[in-house]
Chain A
């Protein structure tokens, strides 16, 4: 199965033709409205400072400048916070991070707007800044006082007493840039009745609507947010987009002109938040076979200047602190640290990768300690059916044991291991390694109220369909999948369906398109709408078929398939879908429906740290093989095999693409994507020439993805499962493969070394040096 990308029979990308011909409109691609103005922001150059004075007099005089906007110009509340109300749109007294917008210039061209920023004088008094997790912990710099979430099971103290061995340690993970290709942007077009239309690159139309209204001091009904598609998002446009949309809205409101705000790449990287860096402290008790008896972990995240989504992200890291492993006795605690960095935010995985990376590092530690193959240690700890997680949810459809077996069979694991050992015995400058990482990923928003969705479906009299739903299309093809659900339910060709842009007028109060739930929830909502109409159509179809001379017809035996409607007992007499719809219209039957869905049976009690927060879990396991050059620290990815448990995929091609793309993001995260602030709190890699994401060159020769499709008890619409985030975890296998490779250099296996994450060539070479020093000291 070395190359499993094949042409499938799955429906193609619903917007495929405009996308490949170049006519697809992203925000900023449409013809510009008359009189459009351009906004640019002057940002704080300091991580933390008091604003003493802002002088915009020179800037205002410059030809082409239409407005210079500060906090004083905000008509409503100067507040764009969401989970906590802690973030001003434009600060008036204090800046909290480098890159925080302080003044906005609106001008006739983007160049003038940019030039004019130089004429604005802001006086600051620099204040001490907190940049690291260590400093924040020492200063107790948190978003909420005395808020220490906890999840606990069994008896942790007793567990440590019973365990044969105990190891303690620390694990650190770094920041990651979203690197969506389309930067943050918004068009704001004033309406004719104290209203405004926002074309915002957001994953959350409802949030932008609510907060823009708050900032402008108008009502939600006066703000329309519309998103046709995004050029990638990955969580980076869930909250972050709100700031830029509100600035555009403010500028449009003030000038009564259409506004474009669009970040350049270096602005986007310098000003906006990343994946949270984490620091974890753990203690693990285990037996001689590697079985974990007790696991205690404290997860601290670097959340940046404002709460943003740091609290739910921390919580998800805790929910995934177990990954695929049963922990009979566990205590999971954590804290989100408030620092003076741009507010870190959602990013594919939403904290789970950091929690999972920690326990996977712990598993490796146990394997080193016991000198066991780490795959064996993983296997003895895998969840079995109905075992409980530390937060009390029973694991349904626990698949890992069979997935491991499948992966080992597919990769001929024992043979591969022998080959690697032999290669390493005969090569001194190149070393090979294997890494295996499973994933168990909980699907649902952990804020239970967000697990609701709406869809609006219209069938026109020619039998074609307009479908709106709450999901935002950002490349994950939520539109294709939701349209497939409707097409399948109504038995029609998908080409009959147009999925409309995500718009607050057609789909109000939409939850963000996030947490991998887009296709599940919006698919179900659309299914609900389709079912309502189908019931109405069916009643009429029975009448029509009787008119056509059939006498034995009823709704129960009616089949909608291939654009036809017929009674299964007499399939030769059929109605054409368009014909039926046309008829039904004249019978004055409603051809529109609003569908609603809420995920059933989920809850979580935060006080007790207990509940059933996830509708179901997605399972999988990946193997990566690498070759490390011990002289340069560089590595080559040789082989990647993934077995992904997917229940019944709605569209194998889409899921395949999501797995492959997520793997590469995860791989970049742990091997090359490095984003650190300097001592002043400024990010250092602010362009694509310094911040490196994987290219075609990293694609291994042997890259195989198997969708392990089975019927599952716990799954979503049409027996499918979510796909977006879980496969990100597979990329971590590369880190452990690199670690494996350089561990072979170590003569004294009881010694330890540190391999920083991400395992850049620098990190690897420094680790190799540490090992060599250890070897040398010993000999």
Chain B
């Protein structure tokens, strides 16, 4: 089952590509440097600007779905069996532009044009999934794309007209949105088999390396055993590929777990929602079960990263990456989530507060374990998440906090759990603050005292996102804010 040097087989626009691809090649490098499609741009190489956005299409059960992806963060070997639409693939000819391209020009929404290809591909994916988006949905679809010239005003106006235009032509949405070659592409890709293992060694042994795409947990554990001390698990890859691009850190072996179907589930079990190890944020955002049982997760995901990142980044990856300011880690800690850490031989349960040990150090034995499941208890009482960051949107938190409080019938605090991010080396519970609150009847003095206790509980650092003093104030004020929201 383990074959070496396999070709990757996919379609770019209307061109079938069968190629041996080096594992350290990103999709952006492939399409620009090897396929000569230079419309997609590299601007930040870390998923913050959207200039490299492409539409990545594949069969999802019985529907062919396109998602906006930052091509700079997607290892090109993952394109197997997929359809990539780049900006070059939309217009039939110079005289027959895609309607979105036409509207961008009519609204003068193009200035220097460097962001334009990515912007158009984000718009395409937005409308392909949701032909008549609301104002908020347009914003969510475009928030991952930066423009330094236009001030966005004309782009939004063009997008609004696109929505009107599509809604006025409901009977021919597909003809309007999709290039005419897609039907044939979809047919062709029905027959592409899942990729077997891809394993390619680059010419320069100094820069590695092998890339594996196991389809089952069993295959994955075999690979883990074979490559002990050398492998790195890649899931969404939105953090790992940033370190590849920016710090030139090349793991010797990538084991990509994104295609293991055993890890892709969201289900309810014992008063908890259980989420599989390669479930993406986008899946969580769309899952009915989450909407019913833990709606805060969805509210929070919409404030996290961008559509391109949410489409591919995973919950387990966000936890394992162990950033002290990871929004999701903070939310889950506040909700009392547990993890299943699975190795070939066994599985163990770890509560999230015992998962984080130090800065970027966790209980996960990265030499043999993965996070296979995340169990999130169905919360009761009042809960609220607060996030403070420089830009307020599509930004990494300076500090964040999750608050869960249950009052008894007399208004006395029965249960209280508060988690903070960005105030210590890892996401952490404000234990002294919650201990203080338990059994108290709430009034202004109690709230202020609780805020003070929380502030004294931590000694946050100063860094580029904020000073010690500012973070300390945020701790205090987040507590006050949670209570203020509770009253509303």
In the complex, which of the residues A5, A760, A765 contacts B154, with contact meaning CB atoms closer than 8 Å?
A5
In the complex, which of the residues B117, B392, B465, B470 contacts A22, with contact meaning CB atoms closer than 8 Å?
B117
Q: Which residues of B contact A17 (CB under 8 A)?
A: 94, 97, 105
Q: Which of B351-401 contact A (CB under 8 A)?
A: 386, 388-396, 398
Tell me the bound Cα distance from A778 to B106 in angstroms.
59
Among the stretches B43-51, B61-69, B182-190, the one at the interface with A is B43-51
Q: Which residues of B contact A447 (CB under 8 A)?
A: none
Tell me the bound Cα distance from A705 to B154 in angstroms.
12
- Determine whether B14 belongs to the interface, using a CB cutoff of 8 Å to chain A: no
- Determine whether A265 belongs to the interface, using a CB cutoff of 8 Å to chain B: yes
Q: Which residues of A contact B116 (CB under 8 A)?
A: 19-20
Decide if A654 touches B112 in the complex (CB within 8 Å): no
In the complex, which of the residues B112, B139, B207, B473 contacts A181, with contact meaning CB atoms closer than 8 Å?
B112
Decide if B469 touches A766 in the complex (CB within 8 Å): yes
Q: Which residues of A contact B12 (CB under 8 A)?
A: none
In the complex, which of the residues B44, B154, B395 contacts A660, with contact meaning CB atoms closer than 8 Å?
B154
Decide if A689 touches B48 in the complex (CB within 8 Å): yes
Q: Which residues of B contact A653 (CB under 8 A)?
A: 107-108, 154
Interface centre among B44, B90, B154, B480 (most CB of A within 10 A): B44
Decide if B148 touches A24 in the complex (CB within 8 Å): no
- Determine whether B101 belongs to the interface, using a CB cutoff of 8 Å to chain A: yes
- A167 CB, nearest partner CB in chain B, Å: 29
- Determine whether B340 belongs to the interface, using a CB cutoff of 8 Å to chain A: no
Among the stretches B33-41, B209-217, B229-237, B411-419, the one at the interface with A is B33-41
Decide if A661 touches B108 in the complex (CB within 8 Å): no
Decide if A661 touches B390 in the complex (CB within 8 Å): no
In the complex, which of the residues A19, A22, A672, A699 contacts B37, with contact meaning CB atoms closer than 8 Å?
A22
Decide if A674 touches B390 in the complex (CB within 8 Å): yes
- Determine whether A25 belongs to the interface, using a CB cutoff of 8 Å to chain B: yes
Among the stretches A224-232, A521-529, A744-752, the one at the interface with B is A224-232
Decide if B388 touches A688 in the complex (CB within 8 Å): no
Interface centre among A15, A26, A232, A429 (most CB of B within 10 A): A232
Tell me the bound Cα distance from A315 to B92 in angstroms.
52
Decide if A266 touches B481 in the complex (CB within 8 Å): no
Q: Which residues of B contact A191 (CB under 8 A)?
A: none
Decide if A12 touches B105 in the complex (CB within 8 Å): yes
Interface string of B148-182 (1 = CB under 8 A from A): 11111111110001000000000000000000000
In the complex, which of the residues B43, B97, B142 contacts A696, with contact meaning CB atoms closer than 8 Å?
B142
Interface string of B87-123 (1 = CB under 8 A from A): 1101100100100010011111111111111001000
Q: Which residues of A contact B150 (CB under 8 A)?
A: 657, 660-661
In the complex, which of the residues B87, B114, B206, B470 contacts A182, with contact meaning CB atoms closer than 8 Å?
B114
Tell me the bound Cα distance from A660 to B464 in angstroms.
29
A656 and B37 contact, Cβ closer than 8 Å, known pairs A181-B49, A695-B146, A762-B470: no
Decide if B112 touches A657 in the complex (CB within 8 Å): no
Interface residues on A, range: 35 or more
Tell me the bound Cα distance from A697 to B104 in angstroms.
19
In the complex, which of the residues A15, A31, A180, A664 contacts B152, with contact meaning CB atoms closer than 8 Å?
A664
Decide if B45 touches A765 in the complex (CB within 8 Å): no
Tell me the bound Cα distance from A762 to B391 in angstroms.
11
Decide if B470 touches A766 in the complex (CB within 8 Å): yes
Decide if B111 touches A180 in the complex (CB within 8 Å): no
In the complex, which of the residues A182, A665, A684, A695 contacts B41, with contact meaning CB atoms closer than 8 Å?
A182
In the complex, which of the residues B37, B45, B394 contacts A264, with contact meaning CB atoms closer than 8 Å?
B45
Decide if A687 touches B44 in the complex (CB within 8 Å): yes
Decide if A689 touches B46 in the complex (CB within 8 Å): yes
Decide if B97 touches A20 in the complex (CB within 8 Å): yes
- B76 CB, nearest partner CB in chain A, Å: 15
Decide if B474 touches A19 in the complex (CB within 8 Å): no
In the complex, which of the residues B88, B108, B388 contacts A10, with contact meaning CB atoms closer than 8 Å?
B108
Q: Which residues of B contact A6 (CB under 8 A)?
A: 157
Tell me the bound Cα distance from A19 to B41 in angstroms.
12
Tell me the bound Cα distance from A766 to B391 in angstroms.
17
Among the stretches A391-399, A411-419, A473-481, A553-561, the one at the interface with B is A473-481
Q: Which residues of A contact B470 (CB under 8 A)?
A: 633, 762, 765-766
- Determine whether A426 belongs to the interface, using a CB cutoff of 8 Å to chain B: no
- Determine whether A365 belongs to the interface, using a CB cutoff of 8 Å to chain B: no
Q: Which residues of B contact A181 (CB under 8 A)?
A: 41, 43, 49, 51, 112, 114-115, 146-148
Q: Which residues of B contact A230 (CB under 8 A)?
A: 112
A231 and B114 contact, Cβ closer than 8 Å, known pairs A181-B148, A693-B148: yes
Q: Which residues of A contact B459 (CB under 8 A)?
A: none
- Smallest Cβ-Cβ distance to B89: which chain A residue: A22
- Smallest Cβ-Cβ distance to B51: which chain A residue: A181
Interface string of A149-188 (1 = CB under 8 A from B): 0000000000000000000000000000001111100000
- Smallest Cβ-Cβ distance to A758: which chain B residue: B390
**Chain B residues engaging chain A, CB cutoff 8 angstroms:** 36-41, 43-46, 48-49, 51, 86-88, 90-91, 94, 97, 101, 104-117, 120, 139, 142-143, 145-157, 161, 206-207, 246, 248, 386, 388-396, 398, 464-467, 469-470, 473-474, 477-478, 480-481, 484
**Chain A residues engaging chain B, CB cutoff 8 angstroms:** 3, 5-8, 10, 12-13, 15-17, 19-26, 28-29, 31, 111, 114-115, 179-183, 229-234, 264-266, 429, 474-477, 631-634, 636, 653-654, 656-657, 659-665, 672, 674, 684-685, 687-690, 692-699, 703, 705, 760-762, 765-766, 769
A-B contact pairs, 5 of them (CB 8 A): A26-B114, A180-B112, A231-B113, A656-B153, A657-B153
Return the 7 tightest CB-CB contacts between A and B, nearest first: A22-B39, A475-B112, A231-B114, A19-B113, A660-B151, A22-B87, A697-B393
